[in-house]
Structure 1
Amino acid sequence: MTKRDLQLDEHGRLRHFLTIEGLNRALLESIMDTAESFASVTEQTVKKVPLLRGKTIVNLFFETSTRTRTTFELAAKRLSADVLTVNIATSATTKGESLLDTIRNIEAMHVDMFVVRHAHSGAAHFIARHVAPHISVINAGDGRHAHPTQAMLDVFTIRKHKPDFGKLTVAIVGDVLHSRVARSEIHALRTLGVREIRVVGPRTLIPSDIETLGVRIHHDLDTGLREADVIIMLRLQRERMSGGFIPSAHEYYARFGLTAARLTLAKPDAMVMHPGPINRGVEMESRVADGSQSVILQQVTHGIAIRMAVMSMAMQHDSGERPA
């Protein structure tokens, strides 16, 4: 079964949302269009729509993540779903229960969706292959593999400001090696027809096979930023590093930190993005993070609409009969 086949039902609608890879442009645009229809919900006095009333969504976060977890919770609640967040640190998995046993036990409570974040690549795919037919699985980040809703909220943010993807040069800067966000963004940007995608960083933080994804590699930040329309800065993931990937945070900032001076090398209206959390003074200076070209807080806001879109679309799949 291909990644596409696992994610879509027989009518080509989302059943699971596990990765951008294998999905076509029309589906990505449909997710963004649906998110657009939800964007106004946050401005209403009552910030809810009844689409998923009576549905139960379970957040299974095996890794900590305040931003992603809270935006998924808000998105589910704004769709009127019941939300259960499982504290994995105190759950049965720490007592020796297998991942599949945990899923089976929660599944027996007649839930409708799992939102899964896990340190191991492929965990969301594994769960999707074993859940009951009526249950959807959303990948909220797995290992170094994928973070598809983050990629979608980023391209949605880009489209808000620069809707013609075919004219854009996008620079993805930093720790590409350990970034599941970068991989998902490259797949999304390519599918949407971005003219040029650059990955910029030290040789130790750029995967050796990244060129096969259709990107251009730059090991000099100034060159990588020149005439860019969009700059996506990545978090330096020191918790995933087990060796000397960089001499020091200070040295990294000197060579690859985004300063106001370096930002002038990009287009005058270039957007600055970051999936968060930001290490200020390491990945970028505060003047840039808080400056007029930064859309970082917009990304957070758009994350709610994108996750509402993905969850509502996945709940419409052709699931067959629910078990008694």
Structure 2
Amino acid sequence: MTTPVEPPVPPAKPAPLRPGRKLGPIADGVGSVHRAWLEPLRYTYLKSGLTLSDLGARVPLAKSKLSELLRGTGLYPRWEIILSLSLQLQMPGWPLYRLWRQAAFEAQKSSDWIERSGDKASVTTSQTPPLDHRAFREIVESDYRLYAQVFLDDEGRDTAVANTFDILWLRWNEALASPDIRRFAWDTLRATVMARTPHIDGRPEFEAAAFDTVALRYLPTDAERMNQVEETFQLFKAMSRLPDQQLDIMVLSWLYGIDSEGVSALLGVPLATVRSGERHAMYFLESVICPPPETEGNTA
């Protein structure tokens, strides 16, 4: 895999000071897709220097309702309001609309409500992401799909990867200003995938991926395949207990055979970090799956 060329990082600018009460955090109960479009909207607003009063004078919504919208409280907002905000904040409307629409379904809104909420606020579908966003997507998308496939079914994989690139489009300036765009993008992918992955005791459940590993593809008989499946189920249960970064390293290297340099480029971390993470992960997995035999002095 070719490592994307890193753009120069612009110097960070302090956020402008605002009069009035500070905007509160996003509410705890906000869903993952709702949060996916709300966080870039909040970020762009906070960087704009505008106040809620300024926005209230430009969009058809009271200041108190704007505060609720930007915190994810109150009723799910209509698209015409979100489009008005995106125009004032100079945000791309098409990826914002796709995420807003998906979150509306998750908020139990009907198709009729979704269509009516945008009757007076059409968004062009001809918008295209920045050139460097498109180039980055071409480089990493196939590997992102492999990673998502481990945790999700085909439909969930496609949705998670599409959402990831829509979020990156909305947050592209933020990504460019981050220390490493690859790391920023990977964190976005991981958060999007994990939000859709079932968890048990806080750890991802992904044993179903045992049926699609590299090892299984080359076993000729059903008996060999079933034996390998049993072993792989045990391994995956142990892998789910790894720290996040070690889990990602093992998924990419063990399941798909991506070399250390490729994993380093995907995750946006130093090569030494990948190799160290793999060593620690292997040590842990061996201790869990093949623990050392008890010595005679330790037996009861």
* TM-score computed with the length of structure 2 as normaliser: 0.31
Decide which structure has greater helix share. Answer: 2
The structure, 1 or 2, with the larger RCO (C-alpha pairs under 8 Å, 6+ apart) is 1
